[in-house]
Copies of this chain bind each other. A is one copy, B any other.
Amino acid sequence: MSGEPELSRSSVLAAYETIKPFVHRTPLITSSSLSASLPGGNALYFKAENLQKGGAFKFRGASYSLERLSPEQLAKGVCTHSSGNHAGALALAAKERGARCFVVMPSNSAPPKIAAVRAYGAHITFCAPSAAARAAALEDVRARTGAAFVPPYDAAHTILGQGTALLELLAQAPEHGERPAAVVVPVGGGGLLAGTALAADGTGVRVFGAEPAGAADCARGLREGRRVEEFVPETICDGLRTPVGKLNFPIIQEKVEDVIVVSDEEVVEAMKLMWERLKLVVEPSSATAFAAVRSEKFQALGIKGPIAIIITGGNVDLSQPLPWAA
């Protein structure tokens, strides 16, 4: 297989047909008490991708990325750099295919994330925690092993794979009520948001991103009409500290209605509510979307009908105090 697929809804549909046998069909969860807590009382559909294999939606993009590889490429293995959920997802997807996986991780990565990548059988190379050190270490791994690089968000297959979560959500919604009027997802590199926007194309579902104020490069980029690359992230949302990707940004510019910015305090409040009411372990990055839905800015839109939220992941270091107690 070769060539880049078109970035369109039909490509997301094709991606879903391909990865369906490999991914969990994660549950869609409703909560009457959280709905009642919103001024508009909208029904809420939470797509629990924290229950996806590897504990995050990233497994979708990683699975689809592996499908583009020829058996010869797969025999040499895959590699990536990541301190977070993409590393675990790729390691697990590679393991399921019997392929080797090489991951470059900053030496200050969270111990549970290192443990997960190791448990999935990947080879870890530690590097200094800088973009330059990561790139150099990855280049070294590629040269040494011939492994194919699978990027965490800035690649067509990744974007299309992430878009499949919304397709599944739309298929599940009729069991719970009406089709959602809008969907809100967190933005880090923008793989999920761009994929979701493609999957929503032509369906009438309005698409929003949610970003923490300490890494609001996407919202700023939309205002300024150009991708923001240089910023120093400072947020509890460890999954959202990366800049939006080159391929991702124009899709977001064209198809996403708005990116709502929330404070870390709003994120922690939303996260606690989700743990309490949904009984789900969700990571701070995941809670940005619900925090955005609760915000005045979003509520002022007066959207009628259900709001869908994609819970992106549940990989939390439970040996640390919970953020609302810290």
Contact = CB atoms under 8 A, between A and B. Distances in A.
A275 B325 contact: no
A279 B55 contact: yes
A33 B276 contact: no
A51 to B, nearest CB: 6
A119 interface: yes
A321 B325 contact: yes
A318 B322 contact: yes
A158 interface: no
A314 interface: yes
Nearest to A282: B279
A205 interface: no
Most buried by B among A279, A318, A322, A325: A279
A50 interface: yes
A119 B318 contact: no
A69 B119 CA distance: 53
A291 B33 CA distance: 31
Which 4 pairs of residues, A with B, have the shortest CB-CB distance? A279-B314, A27-B27, A279-B281, A50-B279
Interface of A: 27, 29, 32-33, 50-51, 53, 55, 112, 119, 272, 275-276, 278-282, 314, 318-319, 321-322, 324-325
